[in-house]
Amino acid sequence: RGCSVCFFQLACCCGTAGCSLCCGCCPKIRQSRSTRFMYALYFILVSVLCCIMMSQTVANEMKEHIPFYEDICKGIKAGDTCEKLVGYSAVYRVCFGMACFFFIFCILTLNINNSKSCRAYIHNGFWFFKLLLLGAMCSGAFFIPDQETFLKAWRYVGAIGAFLFIGIQLILLVEFAHKWNKNWTAGTTHNKLWYAALSLVTLIMYSIAAGGLILMAVFYTQKDGCMENKILLGVNGGLCVLISLVAISPCVQNRQPHSGLLQSGLISCYVTYLTFSALSSKPVKEDPGAHGKNVTICVPDFGQDLYRDENLVTGLGTTLLFACILYSCLTSTTRSSSDALQGRHAAPELEVARCCFCFGPYGEDTEDPQNMKEGPGVIYDEKRSTVYSYSYFHGVFFLASLYVMMTVTNWFNYESAYIETFFSGSPSIFWVKMASCWVCVLLYLWTLVAPLCCPSRQFYV
């Protein structure tokens, strides 16, 4: 028995067996989920390494506590004080390796529909060798010749990929809003209580959006000055009103009877969140006070106490940031998300109203239980066919790698970027978030007016 357990653990790392953390006390896990978990774990490991490379605190601690630090740095040809292993250029190289890793697997897994194919085995196993490959690619990026030209070119590739990643999230958000309204509206034909649920949720979302904008007007503006914040709050508040009016306009209702205030309420909430996030990321301005002391303006007065412990703010903020990125990656790689990006939608009459409408009746990405096979700690739920697109999964993580690279290095203010100052504000991050807000509104408006512009085409949103 002991030999069989050891053999399974070895197969989990080096073979094609699904991985349930190689622990018998863990509950059984589906093969499709365990595979995604392992790739997400690799993504987290490299992302944490990038944060460490961008930390001045870590660099100083290593210099003080590691014996013969300078000799070691010179021995590995990383500079006198290992300056080649820290900073934005090091993050660019490491993320280049991670992006190449996911891009290679994106190519290798194209058009895989059968989980029993040879390439499917490569996707679902050999974790130890994949870890070695990922480490080799991240390390090998430091030996690319003509580093200056490489960094300049890779910076533009990273920006394009990061914007594509943001675009995918915005498209899926708009699609989610339409799917939510369509699913719950389908329930009103059988049970009128769904009308109450729609009304309640819509009221809550509009209350959150209106309350958020009012609070930002109170805390992020002043009677004299802060004109930029006032203009942005007015513009974004006006956009929320605009999309609400368009959604219930007679011409849109005639073409899209499923359009309503639920979608526009959700988009308004997201616009409010992005506006708050952008204003929080704006560099702090200071004015001389009455007693000769600098006083921050256009920010909440209580904000200064929140930033006293910089290490705590940096740690919590970075954790939340990568948790959101990882959540976006995993929710963007399901079969339904892939279909939505390709324009494949279920007809409204085929919808079955459910509170948890994001998942199928028996859970997302599942097969018939009779077609599943169980192994040691693993449920092989892809016996008949794949339950998500392998290539699309790696493609999203490829773009997420570029998004992490640009975000950690402060986008276009990379030369002065450090993880400790990441949450103190940056013009680049501020305008990226504001642009994302406006793009989201434009995407939603397009889904409303597209049927009017193309009357001969059938739309299911």
Distance CA 438, CA 407 (A): 19
**Is residue 106 a contact partner of residue 395, using CB atoms and an 8 Å limit?**
yes
- Of all residues in the chain, what percent carry a pLDDT higher than 70? 67
What pLDDT does residue 101 have?
94
* More reliable by pLDDT, 18 or 257: 257
pLDDT digits (tens, 9 = 90+) for 81-119: 676 677 788 888 899 999 999 999 999 988 887 777 788
- Whether residue 148 lies inside any domain: the answer is yes
378 in any annotated domain: no
Q: Is residue 460 part of a domain?
A: no
Q: 40-61 burial, b if ≥16 CB within 10 A, otherwise e? A: bebbeebbebbbbbbbeeebee
Q: Is residue 248 included in any domain, yes or no?
A: yes
Q: Residue 140: inside a domain, yes or no?
A: yes
Cβ distance 114 to 102 under 8 Å?
no
SS3 of the chain: the string is CHHHHHHHHHHHHHCCCCCCCCCCCCCCEEHHHHHHHHHHHHHHHHHHHHHHHCCHHHHHHHHHHCCCHHHHHHHCCCCCCCHHHCCHHHHHHHHHHHHHHHHHHHHHCCCCCCCCCHHHHHHHCCHHHHHHHHHHHHHHHHHCCCHHHHHHHHHHHHHHHHHHHHHHHHHHHHHHHHHHHHHHHHHCCCCCHHHHHHHHHHHHHHHHHHHHHHHHHHHCCCCCCCHHHHHHHHHHHHHHHHHHHHHCCHHHHHHCCCCCHHHHHHHHHHHHHHHHHHHHCCCCEEEECCCCCEEEECCCCCHHHHCCCHHHHHHHHHHHHHHHHHHHHHHCCCHHHHHHHCCCCCCHHHCCCCCCCCCCCCCCCCCCHHHCEEECCEEECCCCCCCCCHHHHHHHHHHHHHHHHHHHCCCCCHHHCCHHHHHHCCHHHHHHHHHHHHHHHHHHHHHHHHHHHCCCCCCCC
Domain count, the chain: 1
What integer pLDDT is reported at residue 113 of this predicted model? 78
Average pLDDT of the segment spanning 21-40:
69
Cα separation of 55 and 419, whole Å?
Answer: 5
pLDDT of residue 415: 67
* 386 close to 113: Cβ distance less than 8 angstroms: yes
* pLDDT tens figures, 361-412: 444 444 444 444 555 556 666 666 777 788 888 998 999 899 888 888 877 7
Q: Please write the tens of the pLDDT for every residue from 37-84.
A: 889 899 999 988 888 887 777 767 777 767 776 777 777 666 666 766
Do residues 156 and 149 lie in contact, with contact meaning Cβ atoms separated by under 8 Å?
no
State the pLDDT confidence band at 241, using cuts at 50, 70 and 90.
Answer: very high
Phi, psi of 29 (to 5 degrees): -135, 145
Convert the pLDDT of each residue in 138-169 to its tens digit: 988 888 887 788 888 888 899 899 899 888 88
Is 15 a member of any domain?
A: yes
Name the phi and psi angles at 296, rounded to 5.
Answer: -70, 145
- Tell me if 294 is assigned to some domain: yes
Report yes or no on 459 lying in a domain: no
Number of C-beta neighbours around residue 81 at 10 A? 15
The parent domain of residue 262 ranges over 2-360+383-453
pLDDT for res 272: 92
Mean pLDDT over 247-262 rounds to 84
